[in-house]
Amino acid sequence: MPTPKIAANVNAKAGAKANAKAGDGHGPVYKRIVLKLSGESLQGPLSSGIHAETVAGIAQELKEVNALGVQVAIMVGGGNIFRGGRQKSFAIDRATGDYMGMLATVINGLALQDALEKLGCHTRLLSAIEMHQVAEPFIRRRATRHLEKQRIVIFAAGTGNPYFSTDTAAALRAMEIKAQVIMKATRVDGVYDADPEKVKGARMFEKISYLDVIQKGLSVMDSTAISLCMDNKMPILVFNMNVPGNLQRVVMGEKVGSMVTA
């Protein structure tokens, strides 16, 4: 068994190596990120539900980024299972629908956690709604400590309150854990002046301000989330998660996607 002095030297060398990796010109430009992952991104080619191969692919990319020394927190949505208050076909109370949507995000969080752990990643699922048998309750200091220990943290159940989207929850959690950036994973290359899947010739912005996003009514995140980010100067990077390797390119500082900032 190593002596305390030897153990301290080993830990110091490991810490120095990690700092050099993050600080040199070839290391990640972000130390701590919040990835906003929609529920639809987990359904892959399916019309709803969870596509195992797609989730496994996302988990592999997260593992590679985490191995770079980046502290990764994920806010997962639930639209592939239930879209909360936007289920117009249901004669259901808005608050009840939103709680159903929150439970859907817990299901997605468990699926993602399982895929990550099959790859050998250390993870923690933190829920804003207490359910001790499947997830830890969200506690800010606990979440931060998990990240410091290089565990991948998955946030579920949004803010725990109806009338707030998982976009807003991602912005709130990013502020609470002092993340450097929110990365919004989408199926298009960035922020456009119109829907590129419907409008031919739609123009993509490399950089755009929070106010322009709100005034132009662009579908980046909802207005509450954008306002929260604007008030707290939290940058939002929108990129295409369907392109393999894009997440790693983003954290390494390559010009991928669109940056929403002041």
Structural domain of 195: 31-261
pLDDT given for residue 5 in this prediction: 44
CA distances from 251 to 39, 66, 182 (A): 22, 10, 11
CATH number, domain at 188?
Answer: 3.40.1160.10
Q: What is the pTM of this model?
A: 0.87
Q: Are residues 212 and 91 in the same domain?
A: yes
Q: Are residues 147 and 233 in the same domain?
A: yes
pLDDT given for residue 92 in this prediction: 86
Count the domains in the chain: 2
Could you say which residues of the chain have pLDDT below 70?
Answer: 1-25, 84-90
Q: Are residues 106 and 23 in the same domain?
A: no
Give me the sign of the Cα torsion angle 175, 181, 187, 193. positive
Q: Are residues 51 and 6 in the same domain?
A: no
Q: Are residues 20 and 65 in the same domain?
A: no
Q: Are residues 189 and 214 in the same domain?
A: yes
pLDDT given for residue 133 in this prediction: 96
* Cβ-based neighbour number of residue 33 at 10 Å: 24
What three-state secondary structure class fits 126? strand
Q: Are residues 93 and 148 in the same domain?
A: yes
pLDDT given for residue 219 in this prediction: 85
pLDDT 10s digits, 193-231: 888 888 888 999 999 999 999 999 998 899 999 999 999
pLDDT given for residue 195 in this prediction: 87
Q: Are residues 82 and 20 in the same domain?
A: no
Q: Are residues 14 and 130 in the same domain?
A: no
Give the N- to C-terminal CA distance of the chain in Å, as an integer.
53
pLDDT given for residue 83 in this prediction: 78
pLDDT given for residue 90 in this prediction: 66
CA distances from 50 to 138, 158, 169, 243 (A): 24, 19, 22, 19
Q: Are residues 38 and 23 in the same domain?
A: no
Q: Are residues 52 and 1 in the same domain?
A: no
Q: Are residues 11 and 111 in the same domain?
A: no
